[in-house]
Amino acid sequence: MSRDPDLIDSADTLFARLRARCEDDWAAYCEHAFVQGLGDGSLPEAAFRHYLIQDYRFLVHFSRAWALSVYKSDRLDEMRAASRVLSAILDHEMGLHVQYCARWGIGLEEMERAPEARANMAYTRYVLERGVAGDALDLQVALAPCTIGYAVIGRRLAALPGALDAANPYRDWVEMYSGEAYLESVRETVRLVDRLAERRLTPARFEDLVETFRQATRLEVAFWDMGLGCES
């Protein structure tokens, strides 16, 4: 059982403070039509398939960002925390994603061959740029709408009537991002962000982090738009 069962929803974390400053953008992200379609099963299959292919390409750059987080960290506990996430993506999540896509008739070769959508490129390169230009805290704040946001979305969808019913073709997606294994990994990320903030955050810097968080959240919205519209 988690030591912090409500940490993701806690109002005492840096993530919560950033989210509170970006309420409208956060709502647009978590309550997007793409997300709603996952919960009630109404999302067109073509949109989901497009999203899955782009999400594979996203995970490649997501792994690069976590590798950068290891490099940008200057304490062993922070390096180990980032390394655990990187290992989980490369050695576990990527394989699961490939298996999951195969169930939708999408092979690895198709995903490798597919060009990156512009929204995908904009989002992933923004995260990497913030990490290269800034420090480990800048990078983790840029990652937070994805790393922590998917848990918020997953739990919200799981609470909706019918979302976990067998009739919902996206039930497995909801189960994955609302499952305890994923939630505990997200709690560790929340703790990592707070540990970084303990040594690096100042009142003046907080405003810069708000802008990073807001921009990353808007790019998440654009990623949903890309999936919904099957945009290249």
Residue 10 in domain: no
Q: What is the pLDDT of residue 11?
A: 86
**Contact indicator for 86, 68 with CB cutoff of 8 Å:** no
CATH assignment of the domain containing 34: 1.20.910.10
pLDDT tens for the chain, 232 residues long, are 334 447 888 889 999 999 999 999 999 999 999 999 999 999 999 999 999 999 999 999 999 999 999 999 999 999 999 999 999 899 989 999 999 999 999 999 999 999 999 999 999 999 999 999 999 999 999 999 999 999 999 999 999 999 999 999 999 999 999 999 999 999 999 999 999 999 999 999 999 999 999 999 999 999 999 999 999 8
Q: What is the pLDDT of residue 180?
A: 92
Catalytic site includes residue 146: yes
Residue 190 in domain: yes
Residue 159 in domain: yes
Residue 1 in domain: no
Residue 130 in domain: yes
Domain count, the chain: 1
Q: What is the pLDDT of residue 9?
A: 86
Q: What is the pLDDT of residue 3?
A: 46
22, 30, 101, 146: the active-site residue: 146
Q: Which range of residues forms the domain containing residue 28?
A: 18-229
Residue 11 in domain: no
* 152 contacts: CB under 8 Å, gap ≥ 6: 8, 30
Closest-CA residue to 70 (of 136, 118, 16, 134):
136
Residue 13 in domain: no
Catalytic site includes residue 207: no
Residue 2 in domain: no
22, 78, 101, 220: the active-site residue: 220
Q: Quote the pTM value.
A: 0.94
